[in-house]
C-alpha cells in the first residue's frame, strides 16, 4: 500500500495572506451591485492584460477598478471569471513584476475591527465565493456538498482552502498557485493536520470529523462497542484508515473508501504495514489470530502450528486467503478460509496455480508433498528436486512440471481446478503440447 504523505512542512512557513492596505477609491460606489459605471469601465479596460500577466486561468466576465494606494502606487482590481476563480489583482508600478492575485475568500476576511476590508469582492459574479470552490472539490475526487469555506493562504507553488461539507466532514483543498481547477487538485482530510498548525482546520472540529468512525464501525459487522478511536493515515487512492479500540479489548483498522463507504474492517492482528494498531495490543492480537489459523488449518486437513502468517488481498467477499508458516513442519501453505470457518490449504507450489506465492516456505520443503503425490500415482521412483508452474487451461486445469533428483526424466502433473491433489501424471513427451512442454534442464531431452 502506497501511503500518501502530506509533505507540507515547508509550506507552513510560506503562507501569504492578502495585505492590509489603504485604498483611495475612484468614487463612492453608487450603481449596480454597489459598483459605479466608471470603475467597471476602467476595470474592464485594464484587467484583461493584468489577468494574462498574472497567469490566471480566467475567462473574464466582469471587472472593476477598486482604487490605488497613494504611497506604494499599487493599483487594485477585482475580477470575476466564468470559468475561473474570482478575486483581487494588485498591480505594481513596475510593469515587469506580475500582478499579485488573492481569491475573494481571502480578501473577504474582516479587519481587526471586524468590518469588511477595502479589498472585499463586490462584483455580482463573485457573490458566492464559497461555491466558487466547487470545481476544485470536484477535481480532487472527494464527495463533498460544500457548507462553508475559507482561504488559508498560499505558498509559491500552492493555494490552500478549507472546506466543510454537509454531514460534518472537512478537507484542506490544495490547488496550484495561482489557483486553477484545470491543474492538479488534492483534498486532504482535516484529520491529517495537527491542531495549531498553519493548515489546521477551523470550520470543523476533530471530534466532529471522528464521528464518522462510529458509522464505519457500525457498518463493519464487528461486535465492537467503540472505546477509543484515531485517524491513522490517508492513501493515494483517497482511502482513509482509522483504528478503533473496543470495550472487549479487541481492535480493528477500518478502511473508508474515497466515496465515504466502508471498504473493509481489518483485525489489528492483520493490519497492513504503516497502519498498525496502537490503541490495542497488536502482539496479543497476532498470537490470538495465529491460534485461530492453527485450528482452522487443522480442521481443513493441514495440521500446522502457525508460527507466522501473512494475508493476501481479498478477491472474494467473505473469504480470507493467508500464507501459513508452521513451527512443527518444514512446509507451509496458502490457506483459503470462508467466513463460516471452512477452508482448504494449498501446497506452496500448487498455490501458484491459484495466483498465490509463498514467501515463508522454501521450494525444497514444498516439493516433498509433490514427491508423495507422484508415489500415490505409481511414480515413487522420482524424488522431486525442482518444480515449475506451466499454467492453466480455460477450464481451470493446472499443470506443474517436476524434475527428479536422480537426473532421470521428470513428469507433468495435472491438477483439477481448485485441487491440491493431482488427478493425472504425464510424461514430458505426452505433455509436449501443454504450454510449450517441459523446460527444466533434466527434462529437455526426455522421452
pLDDT in tens, 89-118: 999 988 788 999 999 999 998 878 888 888
* pLDDT value at residue 33: 55
- Specify the pLDDT at position 21: 52
Same-domain pairing of 270 and 300: no
43 lies in the same domain as 103? yes
Please report which confidence band the pLDDT of residue 70 belongs to, taking 50, 70 and 90 as the band edges.
Answer: confident
Give the model's pLDDT for residue 72: 86
Domain check: are 84 and 45 in the same one? yes
Please tell me the total count of domains within the chain.
Answer: 5
- Does the pLDDT value for residue 120 go beyond 50? yes
Grid cell locating 158: 500552492
| pLDDT tens digits along 320-377 | 899 999 999 999 999 999 988 899 999 999 999 989 999 999 999 999 999 999 999 9
User: Looking at 219-275, which runs of residues are DSSP E strands?
Assistant: 226-234, 240-246, 251-256, 262-267
* C-beta of residue 309 within 8 angstroms of C-beta of residue 290: yes
Statement: residue 1 has pLDDT above 80 = no
Residue 15 lies in a domain: no
Judge if 174 and 227 occupy the same domain.
no
For residues 341 and 411, membership in a common domain is answered with: no
Residues 115 and 29 in one domain: yes
Q: How many CA atoms lie within 13 Å of 198's alpha carbon, on the beta-carbon side?
A: 16
Q: What is residue 110's predicted lDDT score, i.e. its pLDDT?
A: 84
Categorise residue 324: left if φ over 0, alpha if ψ from -120 to 50, beta otherwise.
beta
Same-domain check for residues 221 and 266:
yes
Q: Does 112 share its domain with 45? A: yes
- Look-up of cell digits 504611497: 71
pLDDT band at 183 (very low <50, low <70, confident <90, very high): very high
Burial class (CB in 10 A: 0-12, 13-18, 19+), 301: exposed
Q: Of the residues 72, 105, 125, which one is the last residue of a structural domain? A: 125
Q: Is the pLDDT of residue 13 over 60?
A: no
End-to-end CA distance of the chain: 47
Closest alpha carbon to 291 in 279, 308, 274, 271: 308
| Vertex 102 angle, CA 96 and 108, to 5° | 150
Do both 250 and 322 map to the same domain?
A: no
**How many other β-carbons are positioned within 10 Å of the β-carbon of residue 304?**
23
In a domain, residue 16? The reply is: no
Choice among 101-110, 218-227, 268-277 with the minimum mean pLDDT: 268-277
Separation CA 162–CA 127 (nearest Å):
18
**Does residue 2 belong to any structural domain of this protein?**
no
pTM of the model: 0.62
Q: Please tell me the predicted confidence (pLDDT) of residue 20.
A: 52
Instruction: Out of 98, 125, 152, pick the residue that ends a domain.
Output: 125
- Which of 90, 125, 160 corresponds to the end of one domain? 125
Is 230 within the bounds of a domain? yes
State the chain's maximal CA–CA distance in angstroms: 104
Both 120 and 187 in one domain: the answer is no
What is the pLDDT averaged over residues 246-267? Answer: 90
For 371, the 3-state DSSP assignment is helix
Any alpha helices (H) in 78-133, and if so which ranges?
104-107
User: Which pLDDT band holds residue 235 (cuts at 50, 70, 90)?
Assistant: confident
Does residue 92 form part of some domain? yes
Indicate if 31 and 111 belong to the same structural domain: yes
C-beta of residue 405 within 8 angstroms of C-beta of residue 384: yes
| Residues contacting 249, CB < 8 A, separation 6+ | 280
Q: Are residues 155 and 235 in the same domain?
A: no
- The residue ranges of DSSP E strands in 304-410, in sequence order, are 306-311, 319-326, 333-338, 343-347, 384-392, 398-404
pLDDT tens profile 16-64: 455 555 454 444 444 445 688 999 999 999 999 999 999 999 999 999 9
Q: Is the pLDDT of residue 11 over 70?
A: no
**Range with lowest mean pLDDT among 73-87, 170-184, 274-288, 427-441:** 274-288
Closest CA to 377 of 424, 446, 321: 424
pLDDT of 150 higher than 70 = yes
Q: Distance between CA atoms of 305 and 327, rounded to whole angstroms?
A: 6
Segments forming the whole domain that contains residue 151: 131-204
Amino acid at each position: 500500500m502506497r501511503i500518501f504523505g502530506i509533505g507540507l512542512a515547508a509550506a507552513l512557513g510560506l503562507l501569504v495572506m492578502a495585505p492590509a492596505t489603504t485604498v483611495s477609491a475612484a468614487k463612492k460606489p453608487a450603481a449596480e451591485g454597489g459598483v459605479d459605471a466608471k470603475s467597471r469601465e476602467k476595470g474592464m479596460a485594464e484587467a484583461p492584460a493584468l489577468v494574462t500577466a498574472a497567469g490566471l486561468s480566467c475567462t473574464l466576465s466582469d471587472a472593476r477598478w477598486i482604487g490605488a494606494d497613494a504611497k506604494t502606487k499599487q493599483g487594485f482590481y477585482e475580477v470575476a471569471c466564468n470559468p475561473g476563480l474570482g478575486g483581487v489583482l494588485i498591480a505594481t508600478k513596475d510593469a515587469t513584476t506580475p500582478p499579485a492575485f488573492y481569491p475573494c475568500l481571502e480578501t473577504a476576511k474582516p479587519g481587526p475591527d471586524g468590518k469588511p476590508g477595502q479589498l472585499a469582492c463586490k462584483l455580482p459574479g463573485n457573490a458566492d465565493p464559497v461555491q466558487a470552490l466547487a470545481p476544485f472539490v470536484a477535481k480532487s475526487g472527494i464527495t463533498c456538498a460544500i457548507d462553508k469555506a475559507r482561504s488559508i493562504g498560499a505558498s509559491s507553488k500552492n493555494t490552500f482552502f478549507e472546506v466543510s461539507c454537509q454531514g460534518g466532514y472537512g478537507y484542506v483543498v490544495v490547488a496550484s498557485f495561482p489557483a486553477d481547477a484545470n491543474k492538479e487538485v488534492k483534498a486532504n482530510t482535516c484529520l491529517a493536520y495537527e491542531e495549531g498548525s498553519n493548515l489546521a482546520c477551523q470550520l470543523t472540529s476533530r471530534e466532529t470529523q471522528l464521528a464518522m468512525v462510529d458509522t464505519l464501525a457500525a457498518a463493519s459487522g464487528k461486535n465492537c462497542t467503540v472505546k477509543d478511536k484515531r485517524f491513522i493515515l490517508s492513501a493515494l487512492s483517497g482511502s482513509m484508515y482509522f483504528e478503533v479500540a473496543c470495550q472487549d479489548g479487541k481492535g480493528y483498522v477500518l478502511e473508508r473508501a474515497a466515496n465515504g463507504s466502508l471498504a473493509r474492517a481489518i483485525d489489528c492482528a492483520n493490519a497492513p504495514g504503516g497502519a498498525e494498531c496502537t490503541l490495542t495490543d497488536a502482539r496479543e492480537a497476532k498470537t490470538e489470530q495465529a491460534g485461530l489459523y492453527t485450528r482452522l488449518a487443522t480442521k481443513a486437513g493441514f495440521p500446522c502450528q502457525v508460527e507466522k502468517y501473512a494475508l493476501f488481498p481479498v478477491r472474494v467477499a467473505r473469504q480470507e486467503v493467508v500464507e501459513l508458516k508452521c513451527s512443527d513442519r518444514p512446509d507451509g501453505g496458502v490457506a483459503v478460509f470462508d467466513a463460516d470457518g471452512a477452508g482448504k490449504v494449498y501446497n506452496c507450489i500448487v498455490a501458484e496455480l491459484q495466483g498465490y506465492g509463498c514467501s515463508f516456505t522454501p521450494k525444497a520443503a514444498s516439493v516433498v508433498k509433490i514427491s508423495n503425490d507422484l508415489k500415490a500415482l505409481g511414480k515413487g521412483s522420482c524424488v522431486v528436486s525442482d518444480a515449475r508452474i506451466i499454467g492453466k487451461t480455460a477450464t481451470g486445469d493446472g499443470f506443474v512440471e517436476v524434475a527428479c533428483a536422480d537426473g532421470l526424466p521428470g513428469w507433468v502433473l495435472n491438477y483439477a481446478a481448485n485441487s491440491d491433489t493431482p488427478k493425472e501424471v504425464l510424461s514430458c513427451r505426452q505433455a509436449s503440447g501443454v504450454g510449450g512442454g517441459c523446460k527444466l534442464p533434466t527434462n529437455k531431452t526426455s522421452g
